[in-house]
Amino acid sequence: MKLNWTVLLLVLGGTLARADDCHDALASFDYASAGQRAQAQLAAAPADAMALMCAARAAYETGHFGKALQSLRAVEQKRPQGELRTYAYNWLTVTLRRLGRESEAMQYGQAALAWARRETSRQNLATALHNMAGLAYAQGNVAMARALYLASIPLNPDLSERSASINNLGLILQAQGDHAAAEKWLLEAIALNRSEGHFHHLGKHLMNLGNLYREAGRFDDAEAMLDEGAALIERAGDQYWLAVAARYRGWLARDQRDWALAGRWLALAARTYDHAGAVADGNATREELSRF
């Protein structure tokens, strides 16, 4: 099976990510507060690069990728240097990927990794390695993707971001048909986020595990994981992952031969992807829906 990249977690960050109250709100997954604080800072200082970065993150984490890109471009125009540059480039990498602009994402991902290797920031480097792993996998280079994820995990001091690399290794194994090994990695990511209270990442990982259980025919377990995960995603207000939740539920209904319910879920997923700016994912979902 080819791994569907809607499920993979893209990681962002850098050592500057908790330098102010706005970034503290992001660290606690309070994206509404982060967005408000960013706008307040920008009202007082429109050229504040860190406030623009926080605004970008708040928009990205709630699934408003076009808005996130606008803030990131404003930062880029200021020609940031040092760790701020790498921080911005890591965010540009993943935002452009969500918008379906893979070639541009690759350029920023390569630049971020090159700059991170010159810095002392372990998190900047871990993030750049993770992002390049995702790009490598998208190009079909599974061995490189696995190696980059494995290199990123021990470097990353941010446990929520570290869990994303663990999750993605599980998804690679799932795509290769090794469900037992995939479950092990996904459960590790889930346990890490439960212990740390990282509910946004936890929601994503629970839904990925639910999708794995769907593939294995464990429909009751799949539904339980999807319900628990989707509730956490709703709490985070993440439009993109709400689309993923609807798509996963559509696949579950399809496998249970409830065609009408599957169609409703997939139609909702396509609309929600479009709202987030993830047009490629929306089109792929509509293509799935057309097969009914």
Domains of the chain by range and CATH?
21-180 (1.25.40.10)
Closest CA to 189 of 153, 213, 223: 153
Spatial separation of the C-alpha atoms in residues 185 and 193, rounded to whole Å? 13
pLDDT tens for 195-204 read 999 999 999 9
Please, what is the average pLDDT of the chain?
93
pLDDT greater than 50 at residue 63:
yes
pLDDT computed for residue 154 by the predictor: 95
pTM for this prediction: 0.91
pLDDT tens for 84-133 read 999 999 999 999 999 999 999 999 999 999 999 999 989 999 999 999 99
State mean pLDDT over 216-236: 98
- Residue 269's identity, in one-letter code, is A
pLDDT computed for residue 16 by the predictor: 54
Q: Residue count of the chain, please give it.
A: 292
67, 59 in Cβ contact below 8 A?
Answer: yes
State mean pLDDT over 54-64: 96
Spatial separation of the C-alpha atoms in residues 270 and 282, rounded to whole Å? 4
pLDDT computed for residue 8 by the predictor: 61
What percent of the chain has a predicted confidence (pLDDT) above 70? 93
Q: Which two tokens stand for residue 1?
A: 């099976």
pLDDT computed for residue 20 by the predictor: 86
Which residues fall within 8 angstroms of residue 218, CB to CB, at 6 or more apart?
none
